[in-house]
Amino acid sequence: MTTTEAASQLLSIGEVAGRTGLSVHALRFYEREGLLVGPVQRTSGGGRRYTSFDVDWLLICVKLRASGMPLADLKHFAELVRQGPGNEAERLRLLDAHRQRVDAQIQALEECRSVIAWKVGVYAEHLARGKAGGLWDPTA
Amino acid sequence: MTTTEAASQLLSIGEVAGRTGLSVHALRFYEREGLLVGPVQRTSGGGRRYTSFDVDWLLICVKLRASGMPLADLKHFAELVRQGPGNEAERLRLLDAHRQRVDAQIQALEECRSVIAWKVGVYAEHLARGKAGGLWDPTA
DNA sequence: CTACGATCTGGAGCAAGGTCTAGATCAAGT
DNA sequence: ACTTGATCTAGACCTTGCTCCAGATCGTAG
């Protein structure tokens, strides 16, 4: 717990892929695109070593992406964090705007869901009746 | 109400774009891709005339697309409807599978939303304090 | 030493879902 | 007749977000 303390936290790209769900390709791509807060450490041989810090950031990225944030916004956010303290208001704006978009998206999805559920119900009923009813709307 | 009855229901591509939210480009694209149930009527001059039937279908398409259904699935659905009665079970499967995906998506989004909301809260609190606290985690 | 798997770089390729252009035509207004 | 605006077709082009390839290198196991 003394010598390995810092080094054991450093993860290879494959390990990071494993715990973030991103592919190694995507990880390198994200780095090229400037989506990481800082430069990734390297071994003497040139291999990437990610800190748990990097991994936490990536996990946030994954969440934001999963909720539809474009890479461009993610990059912007990374830049703000990279610049250090002083721009918290802008970070807040960015995140809050995204949260509102997510809320809207949830709303929209729930509306879609109910429309679909209704249609599913119509089909299910139709099938349950064994296609007995002759007047069946072909558009549905 | 007698002579104009049928004709007044027929809409130009621009009008349909207006009430579906799709661009005229997208409408032509959808048609090329076989996403419509039937062929669209034409004027003598070659202009498209959409029935209210077509519009209803397009509105459904918009909802399904908005909830993330890929065009390929939409095309499949259109084919099933085009084939007429007899395949309702498959239509049901298709829609129900999509509904389940939408449910999962809503779940995921709500999880993201709460993570984001929490982060927004952290920033808001930080700003409210006027950056008084010296110990501020730069990663957040 | 050798083989093998993981990683490296730079750049090409891909899938989805449209978007836009060019050049022609149509329909209506002045 | 002439202009204007909407539409037509076929096809090129675009953006997003990765994914994959080639060829080289590193590190560990036998």
SS3 of residue A108 by DSSP: helix
Token readout for A81 is: 């964090």
Give the chain B residue whose CA is nearest to the CA of A109.
B67
Q: Say how far apart CA B84 and CA B136 lie, in whole Å.
A: 64
pLDDT at A127: 85
Q: Which of A53, A109, A123 sits opposite B139 (nearest CB)?
A: A53
**pLDDT reading at B8 higher than 80:** no
**pLDDT reading at B2 higher than 60:** no
Q: Kindly report which listed range (A129-133, B36-40, B72-76, B111-115) carries the lowest average pLDDT score.
A: A129-133
Other C-beta atoms within 10 Å of B22: how many? 20
Residue-range domain boundaries for chain B:
1-84, 87-130
Q: Kindly report which listed range (A120-124, B45-49, B81-85) carries the lowest average pLDDT score.
A: A120-124
Q: Which of A66, A119, A124 sits opposite B108 (nearest CB)?
A: A66
Amino acid letter, residue B138: P
Q: Which of the following CATH numbers is that of domain A1-84: 1.10.287.110, 3.30.200.20, 1.10.1660.10, 3.40.50.410?
A: 1.10.1660.10
Which residues of A lie closer than 8 Å to B, measured between beta carbons? 37, 53, 56-57, 60, 63-64, 66-67, 81, 84-85, 88-89, 91-92, 95-96, 98-99, 102-103, 105-106, 108-113, 115-117, 119-120, 123-124, 126-127, 131, 136, 138-139
Q: Is the dihedral of CA B83, B62, B99, A21 positive or negative?
A: positive
Taking alpha carbons only, the member of B96, B84, B39 closest to residue A138 is: B84
Could you tell me the pLDDT band of residue A125, with boundaries at 50, 70 and 90? confident
Could you tell me the pLDDT band of residue B6, with boundaries at 50, 70 and 90? low
pLDDT at A126: 83
Taking alpha carbons only, the member of B71, B117, B56 closest to residue A106 is: B117
SS3 of residue B61 by DSSP: helix
Element of type H or E holding A31: helix A24-32
Could you tell me the pLDDT band of residue B5, with boundaries at 50, 70 and 90? low
SS3 of residue B78 by DSSP: helix
Could you tell me the pLDDT band of residue B106, with boundaries at 50, 70 and 90? very high
Residues of A in contact with B57 (CB under 8 A): 139
Vertex A70, ends A66 and A76: CA angle to 5°? 120
SS3 of residue A137 by DSSP: coil
Average pLDDT over residues B56-63: 97
Q: Say how far apart CA A85 and CA B131 lie, in whole Å.
A: 9
Percent of chain A with pLDDT over 90: 76
